[in-house]
Amino acid sequence: MLATRKGSVCLSGWKKSTRRLRPAVTMAAYAHGGGRLPSQWNAPPIAPTNAPAHKKRHHSSLPFWNQSTWGGAASNTRLHASSRDDSDARLRALLNDSDEKAARAGGGGGGRRINGPSYNGVFALLAINFVLFALDHLFHQNWVKWLYLNHQRPVWFQFVTSTFCHANYAHLSSNAFFLYIFGKLVEEEEGTFGVWFAYLATGIGANLLSYLLQPASPIVSVGASGAVFGLFAVSALVKLLRGLQWRTLLESVILGQFVVERVRDEVRNQVAGGATLAGLPVGHVAHLGGALAGVVLVLALNGLPSGDERTRR
């Protein structure tokens, strides 16, 4: 049995008394509570129904956190749970809205994404070049040589496939480096389809000019250098046509200066009789043809009316 000692404050809390004793509690209830008094004994007091009016008013105006201990504990718990649910719902809505905006910003059609382009087009082009080189020079697959552009007996598909073949590793390494750098510049502006279209169009243009100026010659043309020179011109002109902001203007000056120097060197080498790479003659005509095809491509596409202009017409 437990009881308050004489002279102590009654645990009921609302009235001091040295005469009243705390109601008896069995040791079993004390043990059942884990060695602690029942929770209601530690709670704020509530005046009995026969208490004076001012006592009732005093205890009925207990603060919220004291009232919740008695009758409002469940409602207080529900309130906090509801607040957490509302916060979670707002957070999920905010995250979903952010995901939708990111998806719209990086959607299909070659548009830019928030995290930047993935350069799938450039890496696919590089992969094809390296795979064909391995099949040709490492695994000695003779059928790959049918992909070379034969000037004496050309086949229509050779004007395309020869842009993915190379004579030796020095040839491949040089073209792969410039394809990686300038292909990424084009893909940043025009997307995956744009870099593929520019590569194929300028590569075919380079081979056509080389074949027309050297018909029925006992030579074969291979290499991505014609397409690479086309990407030189496309990257510089696309930056310039984006607008005359100081950043794009600076990029255009840097890229344009590089392109002009390379074209000038090609003209000099062609006039001087041609240069060689690893003992093989370099097709300067194809290089110039690729650069020219890049200029024509950009100017032709830029001259086409946009979607809004076609709608107004």
pLDDT in tens, 220-279: 999 999 999 999 999 999 988 887 788 888 988 999 999 999 999 999 999 998 898 878
Q: Are residues 54 and 89 in the same domain?
A: no
Q: Are 231 and 291 in contact (CB under 8 A)?
A: no
The span from the first CA to the last CA of the chain, in angstroms, equals 100
**Single pTM value for the model:** 0.63
Same domain, 76 and 63: no
Distances (CA, A) of 125 to 24, 130, 156, 227, 308: 90, 9, 20, 11, 33
Domain-embedded: residue 240: yes
Most confident range, picked from 107-121, 124-138, 270-284: 124-138
**Residue 150: inside a domain:** yes
Do 250 and 269 belong together in one domain?
Answer: yes
Same domain assignment for residues 162 and 88: no
- β-bridge partners, 280: 277
- How many domains are there within the chain? 3
**Half-sphere CA count of 161, side-chain side, radius 13 A:** 17
**Alpha helices (runs of H) in the chain, residue ranges in sequence order:** 27-32, 53-60, 64-70, 73-105, 120-133, 158-161, 169-213, 225-241, 246-271, 284-303, 307-312
Say if residue 38 is in the same domain as residue 64.
yes
Q: Could you tell me which residue, 92 or 268, shows the higher pLDDT?
A: 268
Shared domain check, 80 and 128: no
CA distances in angstroms from 299 to 149, 234, 305, listed in the order given: 28, 10, 12
Determine the 3-state secondary structure of 276 from DSSP. Answer: strand
| 18 domain-assigned | yes
Asked whether residue 112 is domain-assigned, the answer is no
User: Do residues 192 and 50 share a domain?
Assistant: no
Same domain? 181 vs 83: no
In a shared domain, residues 129 and 154: yes
Q: Which residues are catalytic?
A: 225, 287
Residues spanned by the domain of 92: 72-104
Among residues 302, 301, 291, 236, which one has the least CA distance to residue 264? 291
- 196 & 301 share domain: yes
User: What percent of the chain has a predicted confidence (pLDDT) above 90?
Assistant: 49
* Res. 20: pLDDT tops 70: no
Q: Are 80 and 154 members of one domain?
A: no
Residues 150, 275 within the same domain: yes
